[in-house]
Structure 1
Amino acid sequence: MSSPVSPLRVTVWSEGRHEQRDEKVARLYPKGMHAAVAEGVTEHLGAAATVRTATLDEPEHGLTEEVLAETDVLTWWGHIAHGEVADEVVDRVHRHVLAGMGLIVLHSGHWSKIFTRLMGTTCTLRWRNGRDRELVWTVAPSHPIAAGVPHPIVIEEQEMYGEFFDIPAPDELVFVSSFSGGEVFRSGCTFRRGHGKIFYFSPGDQDYPVYHHPDVRRVIANAVTWAAPAAPRTTPTLVRSETGWFEDEGGPA
């Protein structure tokens, strides 16, 4: 597989279901939530990225082998149709992440098949949809995902996500959120699986205009840049090694 190229190739994936069923969501995201996320990436990365979108109802959910082979970073938003995502597509995405494709999992994507498979846990959490104010606090200010982000990000209306969040200990904790009900949540976490970088970012319920929020858009764009593969994509494999391969012709000194 060819090495990552410039511009960065980004695929923004979403179910695209809420916008079809709920008039409120359609008013907030008339072109779909995936379009709002894609616009935010383009807004911040400009000519440094080419951005395409894909949705659940497309053939193979828009995530064919060809599309994934030409994707450096994939963003994922899902909620009401996790079970409709074909296992074959999940296997395909999983293989590409292990080979080096970046993955950004957003909000209720915590319960997607791909995220739970990569984490190896239930990824369950506490929640309340009560128009809470969310404060997103930066706890790793030198991390590139936090570059240019205010401390805290203020989201006036949002669904509450709270601990305990059943995920493995993150490689890096970038953001912690607090809510008007007193709850806290690990809202920005990085992981590495195989050669791939993964970032989970929780803000973004469909009932609120969170993906129009300029600071949320900045975080996602920063995460896309961070998760981009730095080397040609390759899948880790089992290799039998013979003894003596490291020795000079005359043997060890």
Structure 2
Amino acid sequence: MIKVTVWNENRHEKKNPVVRDLYPEGIHGKIAGFLKNADYEVKTATLDEAEHGLTEEVLHNTDVLIWWGHIAHDEVSDEIVKRVQQRVLDGMGLIVLHSGHFSKIFKVLMGTSCDLKWREADEKERLWVVDPSHPIADGIGEYIELEKEEMYGEHFDIPTPDELIFTSWFEGGEIFRSGCTFKRGNGKIFYFRPGHETYPTYENEQIQRVIVNGVKWAQPADRKRPVYGNAQPLEKISEKSL
């Protein structure tokens, strides 16, 4: 069984009654709920827990980490970021949602600013499937339509994705690379754009399906990380005359 940890800074839920009404168990609780229904073993962790809930033991027992953050990126400890980064390099999958694009861990793994355009105007979003054969798009039609979402627009300052699965169009005219995958070390990363806190995006069954699929895709490969550094020869090296 795939072991998933859903991490959320859990600040909007405490400050904004709209968010609290939409997600009474927190965004992390909502995501954990539908992942449990998909037969994954799921735990949650939040910013204000000791070590942000991401202890060595928790991460060691996590196959895929899901990350949602927005207004408290700077409060995440650099030590914990390095710990998560190492686990990704060792093979743990990472799914970064919505405003997690600006999280320390995503920026460290991307090596760029990860900046973009944005606007809150209750706009329609249409996420077009541009890689219909990809397993993350399994069970999804030609597009997912959301009646109200926050706009994210290009240019999205990320490295060229290994795979582009979804491209969004917004009512105001912008487009955005909304479903991107990357490989870092032994680990796989999926960035998925939808999920502004004041909209019921995570209630949408197609959005849930994409995240469920993403967890399955991002699970670790059954192999050890390659050994680096000075290496002894596998074969005998013959003596060379000068």
TM score, norm. by length of structure 2: 0.95
- Would the aligned equivalents of 1:14 and 1:34 in 2 still touch at CA under 8 Å? yes
Aligned equivalent of 1:26: 20
Aligned equivalent of 1:95: 86
- The letter for the 1-side match of 2:30 is A
Equivalent of 2:231, from 232, 235, 241?
241
- Structure 1 distance, partners of 2:12, 2:90, is 32
1:54 aligned onto 2:45 = yes
Within 5 Å, give how 1:2-13 maps onto structure 2.
Answer: 7-13=1-7
**4+ aligned runs moved over 2 Å, structure 1:** 236-239, 245-249
Q: CA deviation at 1:246?
A: 2.9
- Would the aligned equivalents of 1:101 and 1:197 in 2 still touch at CA under 8 Å? yes
Aligned equivalent of 1:124: 115
Q: CA deviation at 1:248?
A: 9.7
Taking a change above 3 Å as real, the CA distance of residues 74 and 233 of structure 1, as seen in their structure-2 partners, is farther
The percentage of aligned residue pairs carrying the same residue is: 57
Aligned equivalent of 1:164: 155
- Structure 2 distance, partners of 1:157, 1:85, is 29
Which sections of structure 2, spanning at least 5 residues, go unmatched?
A: none
Taking a change above 3 Å as real, the CA distance of residues 248 and 121 of structure 1, as seen in their structure-2 partners, is closer
C-alpha offsets along residues 118-152 of structure 1, whole Å, 9 cap, x if unaligned?
00000000000110110010000000000001221
- Structure 2 distance, partners of 1:42, 1:135, is 27
Equivalent of 1:190, from 155, 166, 181?
181
Q: CA deviation at 1:163?
A: 0.2
In the comparison of the two structures, how many residue pairs are matched?
238
1:146 aligned onto 2:140 = no
Aligned equivalent of 2:125: 134
1:110 aligned onto 2:110 = no
Relative CO higher for 1 or 2, CA cutoff 8 Å, sep ≥ 6? 1
C-alpha offsets along residues 186-232 of structure 1, whole Å, 9 cap, x if unaligned?
00000000000000000000010001110000000100000001214
- Structure 1 distance, partners of 2:200, 2:236, is 62
- Structure 1 distance, partners of 2:186, 2:221, is 10
Aligned equivalent of 1:4: none
SS of the residue corresponding to residue 38 of structure 1 reads helix
Aligned equivalent of 1:84: 75
| Greater shift in the superposed pair: 76-85 or 147-156 | 147-156
